[in-house]
Structure 1
Amino acid sequence: MSSQSPSTSSTTKTNSQDTWLDAWYGTRRWTLWLLPVMWLFVALSGLRRFLLLRYKQKRLPTPVVVVGNISVGGTGKTPLIIAMVKWLQQRGYTPGVISRGYGGKATQYPCLLDAQTTAIEAGDEPLAIFQQTGVAVVVGSDRIASGKLLEDQGCDILLSDDGLQHYRLGRDIEIAVVDGLRGLGNGWRLPVGPLREPASRLKTVDWVVVNSPAENFILPAPGGDPFFYVPMQIRPSELIQLKTGNRISRSELPDDINAVAGIGNPERFANTLRELGFVPQLHGFPDHFAFSVNDLDFKNSLPVIMTEKDAVKCRGFAQDNWFYLPVNAELPDSFWQAFEQKLERASAQQKSRFPLR
């Protein structure tokens, strides 16, 4: 991944991020010096999980579906959540989304998003979900309080974004998302590797969804056969001009473009653009990067194409030749059938747990 931003701060942050990613997902092994720190992290995170599950976990009357990952960085959770929200809406449900709102600074929490909410307040991913679906989205560190607020809005299904390790909120369904390009990296826990929890955690979730796996992709399980997983393909939609909201056909733009991606794996976005015939100059930024107009001044006249979650942060200072590329997540029918059955069982169980609701 290259970083060509003229901004010193963004370049420094991206290079620092690359150093860790190269070690976690590449061949470098300098992080092995951090094994003592890793074992401390393993002990503390294990103790935290035990205490939360044993003494602090609380269930809400409304079924909760957790979508998360066990690794650091982007894996494709947001497109999956958007696809799930739309699927639920088509079947008559009223879903709501709980998010931490990473990078956002709202005046009060929990914060229910509305048409005036900005990415500065809510964070980029929650705002992208809200703008794509119109669903009720609440951000805040207290996921139980956020869930209760969504229940007050009439939501009958709650989707907890990046909530796999937030054990205080009880859940009925767990879905873990894995990047099909990077997999689980070197397989070590933080900070030696990228894993928040051990790979064996994937055996306890309801589904492991792999984002755009290669044809020969294998997700190895500890000491046994590979994990069974559900493949998810990310399909690009029509380009949209950031300043006007107009849809633009691929033929209206030249092949050479600037590609901007402030996501966990910018190279994935560049690959998507290459599949559309573009020749991108990739400008990778750290995940959830707070853009300014100077960060996107690349000293050339090429169009800029960015991800949708980056676009929500750049709309206020958009230029005429800036565009973003929405994407859609596609999953096999077998997943949706199994998910529907699981959701019906979860709803029935919740009604028996909370008969007076």
Structure 2
Amino acid sequence: MKFWYHSKLTIAALMLMPFSLITLIVSLFKRKFRSRHSYPVPVIVIGNLTVGGTGKTPTIIWLVNLLQSRECRVAVVSRGYGAKPNQSFPILIADQHSAFEVGDEPTLIRNKTSADVVIDPDRDRAVRYLSDLPLGQRPDVIISDDGMQHYRMARDVEILMVDPLRGFGNGLLLPAGPLRELTSRLQSVDYVLAKQTGPMLPEGRVHTASAHTEMPINAQGETLVTTQVHLCSAIGNIQSFIDTMIAIGFSVKVVHDFRDHQRLPDRVLSDKRLPIVVTEKDFVKLLAPAEHVYFLPYGLEYSDEFKWELLTRIEGVIHEKSSHYSG
């Protein structure tokens, strides 16, 4: 909601503040009674405090690829927001599953990493499912896509993503503001990350990424050569998408912004007056994209210093768990 990010409190925010007290009570209760048990496999949570896109998915893909380069078997658990499966949870995503059945972000993560991805609104159940697999199939590390506030799921490492351009908005809890928890939660996580530098980064050590993009391509593998484009997307923060397209030299003439995870309507995608560019997350939901519809390849890369710091921490937890559960 736009009023969340106004510099001054709006009437709408003030009217909703009593309901934010409910969010506070619920979040404090969940945290107080969070799970204390431990899984035999290390669990890393990558989440955020705010509603909306902060770069979780490309960060997860970066970390999965990094761990795989160290010969780690990695699995990802996700809520599978918007999924409409025809089977019971937990679901291990397979080739026959479409993005409509299992969700756009889990599908994208699996496509770009080949890691095992399990969806389940109950992330604790998803982690247990993976932890109970036979030794030859069990992952060495499990990454939770979001789930920072899912306190029934124990975790060994917490990575918090922050929005460097919008920060924490008006600083209020839902629904008066964009926060899921109080900003004091920053002090208890292991790492704070941002997908880029920006004026709204919190104080303290924040690891920022650099983006790497390629030119938009379509399903036929053709690269977009014209500079005037029509952007169409259903993500948490379309402004970041717009800024990226402008930064790589495109002139954005038309923008269609839909609710996060929503299916892009055919009436918009059928407009051929300009090439249409969507995000990778949107593109995985298109069953038969036309030639004039392109997607923007996008990824994040963090510094070598942070890379080795994080790897050392994760490999230490793997060793600790393997020693404990093998004995």
TM-score normalised according to structure 1 size: 0.85
Q: 1:40, CA displacement in angstroms?
A: 2.0
In 2, the alpha carbon distance for the partners of 1:76 and 1:206 equals 17
Q: 1:233, CA displacement in angstroms?
A: 2.2
Q: Which residue of the other structure, out of 46, 53, 62, is the alignment partner of 1:67?
A: 46
Q: 1:32, CA displacement in angstroms?
A: 1.4
Q: Which residue of 2 aligns with 1:160?
A: 144
Q: Which residue of 2 aligns with 1:336?
A: 307
In 1, the alpha carbon distance for the partners of 2:45 and 2:204 equals 19
Question: Secondary structure of the equivalent of 2:284?
Answer: helix
Q: 1:122, CA displacement in angstroms?
A: 0.7
The amino acid of 1:273's aligned partner reads M
Q: Once the two structures are superposed, what CA deviation does each residue of 1:286-317 show, in whole Å capped at 9, x if it has no partner?
A: 1101223124244x511011000000111x13
Question: Secondary structure of the equivalent of 1:317?
Answer: coil
Q: 1:67, CA displacement in angstroms?
A: 0.3
- Contact 1:238–1:247 at 8 Å: present in 2 too? no
In 2, the alpha carbon distance for the partners of 1:114 and 1:57 equals 32
The amino acid of 1:227's aligned partner reads G
Q: Which residue of 2 aligns with 1:255?
A: 227
Q: Which residue of the other structure, out of 204, 209, 215, is the alignment partner of 2:188?
A: 204
Q: Once the two structures are superposed, what CA deviation does each residue of 1:230-254 show, in whole Å capped at 9, x if it has no partner?
A: 0112221242213x2x152xxx421
Question: Secondary structure of the equivalent of 2:107?
Answer: helix
- Contact 1:57–1:167 at 8 Å: present in 2 too? no
Q: Which residue of 2 aligns with 1:127?
A: 107
- RMSD, aligned α-carbons: 1.6
- Contact 1:62–1:158 at 8 Å: present in 2 too? yes
Q: Once the two structures are superposed, what CA deviation does each residue of 1:125-158 show, in whole Å capped at 9, x if it has no partner?
A: 0000011111100001122222233342321110
- Contact 1:58–1:168 at 8 Å: present in 2 too? no
Question: Secondary structure of the equivalent of 2:209?
Answer: strand
Q: 1:329, CA displacement in angstroms?
A: 0.5
Q: Once the two structures are superposed, what CA deviation does each residue of 1:245-291 show, in whole Å capped at 9, x if it has no partner?
A: x152xxx4211111112111101101111011111122111110122
In 1, the alpha carbon distance for the partners of 2:128 and 2:22 equals 34
The amino acid of 2:300's aligned partner reads A
Paired residues in the alignment total: 319
In 2, the alpha carbon distance for the partners of 1:130 and 1:218 equals 32
- Contact 1:230–1:335 at 8 Å: present in 2 too? yes
- Contact 1:179–1:213 at 8 Å: present in 2 too? no
- Contact 1:75–1:211 at 8 Å: present in 2 too? yes
5 Å matches for 1:84-95? Answer: 84-95=63-74
- Contact 2:92–2:119 at 8 Å: present in 1 too? yes
Quickly say closer, same or farther: Cα 1:173–1:247, change in 2 above 3 A: farther
Q: Which residue of 2 aligns with 1:49?
A: 31
In 2, the alpha carbon distance for the partners of 1:121 and 1:176 equals 28
- Contact 2:30–2:151 at 8 Å: present in 1 too? no
Q: Which residue of 2 aligns with 1:277?
A: 249
Q: 1:43, CA displacement in angstroms?
A: 1.1
- Contact 1:175–1:207 at 8 Å: present in 2 too? yes
- Contact 2:234–2:262 at 8 Å: present in 1 too? yes
Between Structure 1 and Structure 2, the one with more helix by share is 1
Q: Once the two structures are superposed, what CA deviation does each residue of 1:305-353 show, in whole Å capped at 9, x if it has no partner?
A: 1000000111x13111111011111111111111011112212332344
Q: Which sections of structure 2, spanning at least 5 residues, go unmatched? A: none
TM superposition outliers: structure 1 runs of 4+ over 6 Å: none
Q: Which residue of 2 aligns with 1:10?
A: none
Question: Secondary structure of the equivalent of 1:98?
Answer: strand
- Contact 1:293–1:317 at 8 Å: present in 2 too? no
- Contact 2:210–2:302 at 8 Å: present in 1 too? yes
TM-score normalised according to structure 2 size: 0.93
Q: 1:181, CA displacement in angstroms?
A: 1.4
In 2, the alpha carbon distance for the partners of 1:294 and 1:156 equals 45
Q: Which residue of the other structure, out of 23, 26, 41, is the alignment partner of 2:3?
A: 23
1:286 matched to 2:259? The reply is yes
